[in-house]
Chains A and B, each alone.
Chain A
Amino acid sequence: MQIFLPIADIPVNVFLVLAMGLAVGFISGMFGVGGGFLMTPLLIFIGVQPAVAVASVTSHVAASSFSGAIAYWRRRAIDVTLALTLLAGGIVGSAGGVALFTWLRALDQLDLMIGLSYVTLLGVVGVLMVGESARAIIRSRLGKPAELRRPGSHVWFHGLPLKLRFKRSKVYVSAIPVLAIGFIIGFLGAVMGIGGGFLLVPMLIYLMRVPTATVIGTSMVLTFLTMVSATVLHATTNHLVDAVLALILMIGGVIGAQFGAHAGQRIRGEWLRLLLGLLVLAVGMRFAFQLVVRPDDLYSIRVIGGGL
C-alpha cells in the first residue's frame, strides 16, 4: 500500500516503512539504544532526502525512548538530577546542532557532513565496543573472572567547581563535565538524527563512574528529552519534520522494541555488546565506502529554498 508523504514529497510503501520501524525497534530494544543511527541511513536509502530523514527520525527516537524510560521509571532506575543536568547541556547542544545543520544545508555540504560524522563516530565507537567485548569473551572462555572496574578512581574533571550530588547514582562530581556530555549528545543528535544512547552510556560509565543500574534508564530519559526538543527545533527552523513518516516509524519502532527487549535478555552481556559493536561498525563502513568510492554520478541537483 503506497502512501504519499506530505513533507518528504515522495510516495512510500507503508508496510516497508513499518517493517523498517519494527526491525530497528527490535534492535534498539535488544541493545537498549535509540536506533537512530540505523533508521536515518535506511530512510536515506529508500529515497528520503537526508535532511527530512534526520529531522523525522528525531521524533521516532523520542517515541521509542519514552516507552523505554517509562519502564525504567517503574523500576526506579532513573537518576532525575543527572538526567536534568545532562538535559541542560543537551538543549544548548541541540540548538547549536540545528543551527549548524541549517548552515551546512545552505552550503551544500550537509550530506558530506552527515556522512563524515557517521564514519568517524560509528567507526571509533564500533572498534572500541568490538575490542572491549571480544576481550571480555576471551577472558570468560579462559575461565578468568570478569575484570573488576577500579572503583571510584577520580579523574581531574570530577574535581571542577559546581559540585553536585547525584543521589540515586551515588556519585558526587562537578556539573561541568556532565553539562559538556549533555551538550555533545544534543549536538550530535540534532546534526546526525541519532539519540546518542550508544555514546552516552559508555561516557557515563567510564568517565563519570555512574553505576550501570541507573545508566540506561537515565540515558533513555535524556534521549527522549533531547529528541523531543530536537523535533520541535527542526520543525520550527527547517520545516522538514514529516509527521506521517514519523508516525509510521514510531508505531513499528515501539512494537519492535518490546520484542527486542525480550530477545536481549536471553543473550549474555558481552555477546550483546559484540553484536552491537559489529552492527555499529558495519553502518560506519557503509558510509565510509560511500565517501571514498567514486560516485556513479558526480553531479547532483538541489532545489534552493527548502524542501517544501
Chain B
Amino acid sequence: MADLLTLQGWLLALLQTALFVTAAPLLVGWLRLLKARLQNRRAPALTQPYRDLSKLFRKEVIVADTASPLFRAAPYLVFSATVVTAAVIPLIAVHLPTAAIADVIVLVGFLALARFFLALAGMDVGTAFGGMGSSREMTIASLGEPAMLMAIFTLTMTAQSTNLSHAIDFQLAQGLVLRPSFMFALLGLLLVAVAETGRIPVDNPTTHLELTMVHEAMILEYSGRHLALMEWAAQLKLMIYGVLIANIFFPWGIAAELTSSALLLGLAAIVLKLMLLAVVLAVAETSLAKMRLFRVPGYLNLAFLFALLGMLSHVILEVGA
C-alpha cells in the first residue's frame, strides 16, 4: 500500500476528482443538446447547466418551517458522498491512490449513503410528495442494487479483484476478447444505470407531474444553494454511471502510467466515450415513453436476469478456458 501513497499520485487524484466534479454539468448539457436536436427543437447552450447552477447558488434559500436540521445538512451530505464516489473511479488514469481506498462494493455503498439522505430529506418537511418520492426511489434502488452488484460480481470474478483499477488493468492486459458474460453484464448495468440516474423510461428528469415524479418529488422543497447541490449531485451521478460503464467495459485509452502524453490521451478517450454514450442515451430517451411505476420492477428484473445470465455464462463457459 505504501508505494501508492506518493504525493504526485494524491495530487493527480485530487485533480482528477476536481475535473470529474466540474465536468458533470457539461455532460448533462451535451445530453440536452443531443435530445433537442433529435426532437427538432432549438437546443440551449452547452453551458446552460452551469448557468442554472450559478443562478441557484446566488438565490436566496427558503426553508419550510416544519423542516428539521437534517433538511439543511442533507444537501451537503448527499453531495459529499457523491463527490467521494467520483473520487474513487478511475477517470483518465488507473492506479491513483484514491482507487485503493474503496473498491466497487464500497462505491455502491457510497451511492446508497447519498440516496439514504436524499430519501430522508424528502420525508423531512412532511408533505405528501416528498414521502411518495422517497418511497418510490428506495423501491427502485432496492431492486436495482442487486442487479448492479450481480453485474459487477461477474466482472470482478473474471478479473479476480473488486478493485476498479485492477479490474481495468485486467481488461487492458486481456486485449479485445469477446466475452459473453461481459455482454450480458453490460446490458444489465446499462438498464440499472438508466433506472438509478432517473432517466426515461423509469423516471423523467424534466417532469413535475405528481403522478410520475420520483427524484424531483424528493427535492421539491429545496431552493437556492441547497437545490443547486442536489441538482449537481444528480448530474454527477449520471457522469459516475457513464464513466463506470465506459471505463470498465471499454477501458482502452485510459492512462496506465502517469506521463503527460498518456494522461492527455486518457482525457481525450474518456471525452469521446462519454459523448458516444450520451448519444445512445439520448436516442433511447427520445424513442421510448416513460413506464408506469409498477412496470419498473419488471424492467429491473430484466436487468437482474441479464446480470445473472452473465454470471452463469462466466461460470459455465469461461472458467478454465
Do the two shown chains form a genuine complex with each other?
no
